[in-house]
Chains A and B, each alone.
Chain A
Amino acid sequence: MTSTPTTARAGDSLTESPARKVSVFLSQHARVRLGLLLSAPLFWLGLVYIAALAALLITAFWTVDSFTGQVQTTWTLDNIITVLTGSLYQTVTLRTVGVALLVTIVDILVALPIAFFMAKVASPRLQRILVIAVLMPLWASYLVKVYAWRSVLSQGGIAEWIAQPFGGSSPGYGLPATIITLAYLWLPYVILPIYAGLERVPNSLLEASSDLGAKTWRTLGSVVLPMLWPAIIAGSIFSFSLSLGDYITVNIVGGANQLLGNLVYTNVGAANNLPLAAAIALIPIAIMVVYLTAARRTGALNNL
């Protein structure tokens, strides 16, 4: 017997194949097991993703040769200064953050009543049907949904057809259309965490609140909302982050308006200025880092 006597188990007396030895070794060394499990995923995420993000950061400090279009690895702050001081970038950044904030607010306002109805009013059967009904559009293609809103808001489209009898008009293509479409796209991502958060609010608490004389609004404001904040913030991370990076929706329903994503895209493609594109992309990263750090304090990250 070559194995250490302290670990003699029923199985060890069978065969001592190399595979068996490896297995015994692994079951005795949890750290090695952990190391093997972590190796491939960390290799992948670290090499592909973190390295790419780091490279992006570095590229932002490089420059492009205006003749050959090749990236030159000479260090410069020009791109960063251009992005921070250029009026175009300031305007577009403000516009993008504004759109993302409005989308998030619209989503939360729409998600609250439907999530509340699902969690606290609907019967268990209806609840299941509603969850499916809310999730279903998530599976429909992103482009299909944007395109669908293009159809709805088009000239002579159904929005005009519905609004005209009431003296209204379709918002047409532009920033309002972009906000509507983005809010539509990310709505399920906001409804689900809020719904899950409401499910965690025990009914007994609501009853206690009303037994103590609180009216509906008082209960909602003083009991439900404080418990629901982390869930709301968790949902807002999705709608905010996804809106910050979107450039396709604004292309399809936004008319001539540009968001940060469009600037990045033109600089990667047509303008072929990767360093400048990288510098612009640092704006949404910086905004998201601030947002995530703030969200972390509220404990919202555990609700994702």
Chain B
Amino acid sequence: MRLSRAARVTLGTVTTLILAVIYLPLFVVFVNSFSTSTNLTWPPPGFTLEWWGKAFQNAGALEGITTSVQIALAATAISLILGTMISLALQRFDFFGRDAVSLLVILPIALPGIVTGIALNNFFRTILDVRLGIATIIVAHATFCIVTVFNNVIARLRRMGTSLEEASADLGAGVWTTFRLVTFPQLRSALLAGGLLAFALSFDEIIVTTFTAGAGVTTLPIWILDNLFRPNQAPIVNVIAVVLVIVSIVPIYLAQRLSGSEQLQK
């Protein structure tokens, strides 16, 4: 099939339009963060740096960031360990129930977030009788972060093959030594990419979080949600939103660098 020139140009135009719609809302938030209007009118009646100054002194927002980072770090650590173990088991072994296990890993993200949320809420409150708090959020986040690590690691294991590990075993290295010196170094960038994704996923999560957070804990997304509808706070939400988008460029850049260097190695 050779596309005519007209078809190519049409496709190109449609693609450009779609990308414009994808970026328009983020652009609007960026401009609004400098707007003197507090009710999202367009075009902005005037520009000010007032909200940017206020945002960096907002105790609630800063506390939310700290809490979110703590939760995301813990959830990422747990999901890195469990995700690697389960990838090794599913990629290097053939066993009865393998399909069921791989379905089990994707289930927490395949089911709607609200189902995961209420299931865990009910489990913690009614069945286990634990107080909701940071710990329950970490458990919930780790559960659905496992899959991002799993996806990255299993793809890497598939490409690695087993010859190097077999060579290492033939030369007398034990199971642990082989993992530490042969398998792990090859997995490192996949773990970093999966870990970054898990961190981002946890940092951003709101639906499961509202069900497992309890009264006293405010993560950044919860803070944003609480302040969204308050006219005085809305401009500060704009600033936080812009900062979040800018900060998120760092992990994208890193993840891209990682997959870029992989392509060179191939």
Contacts and interface: CB of A to CB of B under 8 A. Distances in A.
Nearest to B237: A147
B146 A41 contact: yes
Interface in B241-260: 241, 244-245, 248-249, 251-252, 256
A223 B1 CA distance: 10
Given A117-B15, A274-B126, A149 B25 contact: yes
A216 B251 contact: no
B119 A34 contact: no
A113 B32 CA distance: 31
A53 interface: yes
A103 to B, nearest CB: 13
A44 interface: yes
Interface residues of B, number: 92
Given A38-B85, A147-B228, A285-B111, A139 B14 contact: no
Nearest to A289: B111
Contacts of B43: 158, 161
Given A148-B25, A241-B112, A37 B120 contact: no
B29 A144 contact: yes
Given A121-B8, A121-B12, A11 B175 contact: no
A52 interface: yes
A71 B126 contact: yes
Contact of A49 (B101, B143, B251): B143
A207 B14 CA distance: 24
Contacts of A237: 110
Nearest to B244: A141
A304 interface: yes
Contacts of A89: none
Interface residues on A, range: 35 or more
A237 B11 CA distance: 26
Contact of A117 (B11, B88, B224): B11
B3 A121 contact: yes
A20 B81 CA distance: 23
Interface string B173-207: 11111000000000000000000000010011111
Interface string B143-174: 10010000000000000000000000101111
B49 interface: no
A48 B112 contact: no
Nearest to B43: A161
A232 interface: no
Contact of B118 (A209, A216, A277): A277
Contacts of A252: 228
A248 B207 contact: yes
A9 B3 contact: no
A71 B123 CA distance: 12
A141 B205 CA distance: 8
A37 B88 contact: yes
A215 B157 CA distance: 42
A94 interface: no
A145 interface: yes
Given A148-B28, A184-B25, A288-B112, A247 B89 contact: no
- Which of A142, A151, A187 has the largest number of chain B CB atoms within 10 A? A151
A92 interface: no
Contacts of A40: 81-82, 85
B119 A144 contact: no
B133 interface: no
B105 interface: yes
B12 A117 contact: yes
A246 B113 contact: yes
A-B pairs with lowest CB-CB distance, top 5: A245-B112, A11-B172, A23-B174, A148-B25, A52-B123
26 contacts: A20-B174, A26-B175, A27-B174, A33-B175, A37-B88, A41-B146, A55-B123, A56-B119, A110-B18, A113-B11, A139-B252, A140-B245, A143-B221, A145-B26, A148-B26, A148-B241, A151-B25, A151-B40, A156-B40, A184-B22, A207-B1, A244-B112, A245-B114, A278-B122, A281-B115, A281-B118
